[in-house]
Amino acid sequence: MSSQQQQSSSTSTNNNSLQQPIPTISVKLVLLGEAAVGKSSLVLRFVSNDFQENKEPTIGAAFLTQKCTINNQIIKYEIWDTAGQERFASLAPMYYRNAQAAIIVYDITKPASFIKARHWVKELHEQANKNITIALVGNKYDLVEDEEEGGANENEESLRKVSYEEGLNLANEEGLLFFETSAKTNHNITEVFVAIGEKIPKDKSNESNINNGNEGGRIDLLNNEHIPQKSNTCC
Amino acid sequence: MAEPIDSILRVNLNTKPDAINNLKTLSSTYNKDSGNFLLQSKYNQLILNFTQKNPTTKQSLSSGTETIKKTFQTIKNTAGSYEFANEIDWEIWEAIVENYENFVNENTNTLNELISKGIPKEIRGIIWQVAAYSKDLNLEDFYLQLKNETSIHEKAIKRDLTRTSFFTNIDAVNKSDELFNIIKAYSLYDPDVGYTQGMIFIGVPLIMNCNESESFCLLVTLMKDYNLRHLFCPEMQGLHLLLYEFDRLLESYSPILYNHLTKQGIKSSMYASQWFLTFFAYKFPLDIVLRIYDIIITEGMESILKFAINLILKNESNLLNLSFDKLLEFLKDNLFNIYISDEFINTENNKRFSFTKKSSNSYYKLDQLVQDSLDINVDPLDLQKFQNEFNHILEKEEKKGEEITNLQVENGALRKEIKQYEFKFNSINADHLDTVQTMVDLKITLPDLLNENSELKELIEIRNQEIEELEAKIGKDIPTTIEDQIKELLDINAKEVEKSANLEEELQNLLIEEENLKKQLPNHTWFKW
Ligand SMILES: Nc1nc2c(ncn2[C@@H]2O[C@H](COP(=O)(O)OP(=O)(O)OP(=O)(O)O)[C@@H](O)[C@H]2O)c(=O)[nH]1
Ligand SMILES: [Mg+2]
């Protein structure tokens, strides 16, 4: 299946690494962000290099995996794609609680989704792993690409509602990776995952694999997972 | 499976007395001999609910049901001339429509069998409304009013309608306005729930089998009297409860599988949330979903557990061999494969199947699927017991949450104190550093001072010696300067003495002269002038 396909980011391979078995690292990654910003589309592009105009709303959460080679290391991403609607917030903690990486997605044409992204950053800082690697991603870049590359009509109101600087500032303030992407045109998608793979603390992820003791990366069991957790995001 | 009521009652003896009453009432809603507890229990619970409603609503609901009965007659009369109509046992369905209550309680097994074979699509909407006791003429009027109002959820509903392939791929597509209207009206009717992704899935089967306002009434009934709204309310407690009940049932039906899944780190919420929130419509085709709806509406929301448990049990041997990743994949896509009709298996090379298959013959062995699921006779008392457990855990969790909040507050206060102490410490430390610095400085200058001191002492010594020497010298010879001074003074003195002697001699001479002069005067009247 598609999860076997490998994407290579490092073109230079030395002979040594060809002879030695390349270590595989599992990275638990969770996608968060408002409904319809393109979380599932982002994953679909990364995992299957595909795009659907009318992607179904995610109900609950979906699990996908994808391997890629980053700096002579195979990283197996174990991805939880969550449902974006506020209502599903009580399910989210169990997916981000033990995640090593998170992608917080907003839609650069929807200001409300950027506000929601701020909430997620806050919640993750408060509730998730202390050394979680977070990437902030402004999606649907294709919608503003044309107007920004000169063809824009001065009088027409721009579709872009969140500027690149706003995103970058938030990312800098909070120590996040930052990208503007398009799942539709495959703009910057691989870059996001490569950057996460490069930034993630390596020994830590190995450690957690050993601790897990079983081959699949998984969400740890807390006894009371059915109990809805008060979401921290609603005010 | 069913436990004696006493044992359950004992479990709850130390809880509130009305909980025990509730259990008693609940156990009175179904006959322990019947093959399908939920079927009887759901309707009798609905009727109990009905008796507690206000007279106007009662009146409106009764007239609604009467209207449905009339509609049934109309359909029966017009359908008689069509070919398909021969396949329908009109007599028996008529009896069901005319007196559902009686049928549920007296002929449970017949009714169960009929429904498990699928309610004929021509009268599906009618039977649903009869079984749910949903048609409410006043509510229909209210709906017409709500329909024209605007809801803050409109944009989200529209957006999701185009994104929901379950909806867009099927024939209902020309009913999209109606579907939008009932979902929007519901978001106005029940603002606490508003609109939640998943509700569209719930609405599709309704709008396909009932007219717009009837669909709305049925939706409201499902939400309120079937507790669906707890699935969609902000904390989604209804969902968490169903998941808990599912876990307990799975644990009792297949401990091995339950343990395997648990060991692999698979939680029911990872795969079953979407089953429960959409009644399987999220992944599975409409013909399956309609059959599931037949059961949900006649047996209550909890009957979804029968399908869930059956599916997972039927795939037990497959599941036991899979680990985390593969398990999730299988649970998401392949559970229904065991029910693919043989004719399709032969032609199908690809393991994956098309969801949009339009075929006169169903792609799935629907009867088999429903029959197998209904063989699982879920006991309402068990469910009640699970619910009590769940609430108990919830309470504990809430207390824990409160404790955590309290601890967090305490922690905050302590942290503030620490900050203050740190501040104090810092200023004291600064003072201390100053002091140390001065001390160090002093220590550095101390040897110099000591040196100086001893040098001075030596100097004093020397001076003292000098003084002694001087004193000794003073005794032997007066210094020349003093000698000279004395000499000088003695000279001066001698001169003065000489002067004085001269003056005295002069005075003596003068006195002698005066005596002579007095003798020369005639009478001593010197002073007579
Ligand atoms: N133009 C454009 N559309 C996109 C892009 N990414 C996603 N979309 C569209 O946006 C809609 C929502 O995408 P999803 O991937 O389902 O969004 P999501 O964040 O997973 O939404 P939820 O599952 O509801 O939380 C779909 O109709 C996509 O086709 C993009 O980069 N550009
Ligand atoms: Mg999604």
Q: What CATH number is associated with residue A168?
A: 3.40.50.300
Does a structural domain hold residue B90?
A: yes
Domain of B252, CATH number, reads: 1.10.472.80
- Count of alpha carbons within 13 angstroms of residue B26, beta-carbon side: 18
**Nearest residue, CB atoms, A91 vs list B165, B244, B269:** B269
Does a structural domain hold residue B323?
A: yes
Among A5-9, A182-186, B54-58, B97-101, the least confident range = A5-9
Which domain-ending residue is among B348, B378, B408?
B378
The CB of B159 under 6 Å from ligand 1? The reply is no
Does a structural domain hold residue B422?
A: no
Residue A191 has pLDDT above 70, yes or no: yes
pLDDT tens profile A81-92: 999 988 888 888
Does a structural domain hold residue B85?
A: yes
Beta partners for A137?
A105, A179
Q: Kindly state whether residues B223 and B242 are assigned to the same domain.
A: no
Does a structural domain hold residue A20?
A: no
Distance in angstroms (rounded) separating the CA atoms of residues B428 and B433: 8
Q: Kindly state whether residues B53 and B122 are assigned to the same domain.
A: yes
**For chain A, percent of residues with pLDDT exceeding 90:** 56
Per the structure block, which two tokens stand in for B140? 């229909």
Instruction: Please tell me the distance between residue A52's alpha carbon and the centre of ligand 1 in angstroms.
Output: 8
- Choose one of A40, A41, A106, A116 to mutate for the ligand 1 pocket test, by most ligand atoms within 8 angstroms of C-beta: A41
Identify whether the C-beta of residue B286 lies closer than 8 Å to the C-beta of residue B363: no
Q: Give start and end residues of each alpha helix (H) in chain A.
A: 15-19, 39-48, 92-96, 111-127, 142-146, 164-174, 189-199, 202-212
Between residues A78 and B523, which one has the greater pLDDT?
A78
Q: Kindly state whether residues B140 and B224 are assigned to the same domain.
A: yes
First-to-last alpha carbon distance for chain A, in angstroms, is 43
Does a structural domain hold residue A7?
A: no
Q: How many separate domains does chain B show?
A: 3
Does a structural domain hold residue B201?
A: yes
Q: How many separate domains does chain A show?
A: 1
The verdict on ipTM greater than 0.90 is no
Does a structural domain hold residue B360?
A: yes
Residues 25-54 of A with CB under 8 A from B: 35-36, 54
Residue in the structure block whose two tokens are 């009580």? A90
Q: Kindly state whether residues B206 and B244 are assigned to the same domain.
A: no
Distance in angstroms (rounded) separating the CA atoms of residues B2 and B4: 7
Does a structural domain hold residue A9?
A: no
Distance in angstroms (rounded) separating the CA atoms of residues A34 and A20: 43
Does a structural domain hold residue B56?
A: yes
Sign of the dihedral through C-alpha A106, A112, A116, A117: positive
Q: Kindly state whether residues B102 and B67 are assigned to the same domain.
A: yes
Best of B165, B173, B235 to substitute, by most chain A Cβ atoms within 10 angstroms, is B235
Distance in angstroms (rounded) separating the CA atoms of residues A125 and A104: 12
Q: What is the mean pLDDT of each run of 10 residues along chain B (529 residues)?
A: 48 63 85 87 90 92 93 86 73 94 91 94 94 95 95 92 73 79 96 90 92 96 95 90 97 97 94 92 86 96 96 96 93 90 65 46 87 93 92 90 87 90 91 89 86 90 90 72 82 88 87 80 54
Which chain A residues are Cβ-neighbours of B162 within 8 angstroms?
A: 54
Q: What is the pLDDT of residue B439?
A: 87
Identify whether the C-beta of residue A100 lies closer than 8 Å to the C-beta of residue A28: yes
Q: Give A148's DSSP letter.
A: I
Sign of the dihedral through C-alpha B284, B285, B286, B292: negative
Best of A87, A88, A215 to substitute, by most chain B Cβ atoms within 10 angstroms, is A87
Instruction: Please tell me the distance between residue A39's alpha carbon and the centre of ligand 2 in angstroms.
Output: 5
pLDDT tens profile A15-39: 444 556 677 899 999 999 999 999 9
Q: Kindly state whether residues B74 and B116 are assigned to the same domain.
A: yes
Residue in the structure block whose two tokens are 């002694």? B468
Distance in angstroms (rounded) separating the CA atoms of residues B33 and B27: 12
Q: For residue B359, give the amino acid letter.
A: S
Which chain B residues are Cβ-neighbours of A88 within 8 angstroms?
A: 197, 236
Beta partners for A204?
none
Q: Give B526's DSSP letter.
A: G
Does a structural domain hold residue A235?
A: no
Per the structure block, which two tokens stand in for B315? 């795939």
Question: How crowded is residue B96: how many other Cβ atoms within 10 Å of its Cβ?
Answer: 25
Beta partners for A182?
A187
CA of A144, nearest ligand number? 1
Q: What is the pLDDT of residue B69?
A: 94
Q: What is the pLDDT of residue A85?
A: 87
Q: For residue B192, give the amino acid letter.
A: D
Q: Give start and end residues of each alpha helix (H) in B52-198.
A: 55-79, 90-98, 100-106, 108-116, 124-132, 137-146, 154-163, 165-168, 176-189
pLDDT band at A14 (very low <50, low <70, confident <90, very high): very low
Distance in angstroms (rounded) separating the CA atoms of residues B380 and A190: 51
Identify whether the C-beta of residue B309 lies closer than 8 Å to the C-beta of residue B242: no
**Nearest residue, CB atoms, B236 vs list A87, A224, A230:** A87
Q: Kindly state whether residues B106 and B226 are assigned to the same domain.
A: no
Per the structure block, which two tokens stand in for A11? 């073109």
Q: Which residues contact B235 (CB under 8 A, 6 or more apart)?
A: A90, A228, A230
Instruction: Tell me how far CA of residue B250 lies from CA of A185, B5, B38, B330, in angstroms.
Output: 44, 21, 18, 17
Which chain A residues are Cβ-neighbours of B262 within 8 angstroms?
A: 221
Helices (H) and strands (E) in chain A, counts: 8, 7
Q: Kindly state whether residues B18 and B141 are assigned to the same domain.
A: no
Distance in angstroms (rounded) separating the CA atoms of residues B275 and B231: 12
Q: Kindly state whether residues B253 and B168 are assigned to the same domain.
A: no
Q: What is the pLDDT of residue B18?
A: 75
Helix (H, G, I), strand (E, B) or coil at A105: strand
Residue in the structure block whose two tokens are 């006779």? B377
Domain around A157:
25-228
Q: What is the pLDDT of residue B141?
A: 96
Question: How crowded is residue A230: how many other Cβ atoms within 10 Å of its Cβ?
Answer: 15
DSSP H or E stretch at residue A135: strand A133-139
Instruction: Please tell me the distance between residue B442's alpha carbon and the centre of ligand 2 in angstroms.
Output: 73
Which domain-ending residue is among B113, B133, B153?
B133
Helices (H) and strands (E) in chain B, counts: 26, 0
Atom 32, ligand 1: residue with shortest CA distance:
A140
Does a structural domain hold residue A18?
A: no
Q: Kindly state whether residues B118 and B194 are assigned to the same domain.
A: no
Q: What is the pLDDT of residue B97?
A: 95
Domain around B126:
1-133
Best of B275, B284, B289, B325 to substitute, by most chain A Cβ atoms within 10 angstroms, is B325
Q: What is the pLDDT of residue B420?
A: 92
Q: Which residues contact B247 (CB under 8 A, 6 or more apart)?
A: A226, B258, B268
Q: What is the pLDDT of residue A51?
A: 95
Which domain-ending residue is among B357, B378, B399?
B378
Q: Kindly state whether residues B213 and B328 are assigned to the same domain.
A: no
Q: What is the pLDDT of residue A19?
A: 55
Strands laid side by side in the A6-8 sheet? A6-8, A61-70, A73-82, A24-33, A101-107, A133-139, A177-180
Does a structural domain hold residue B438?
A: no
Q: Kindly state whether residues B260 and B355 are assigned to the same domain.
A: yes
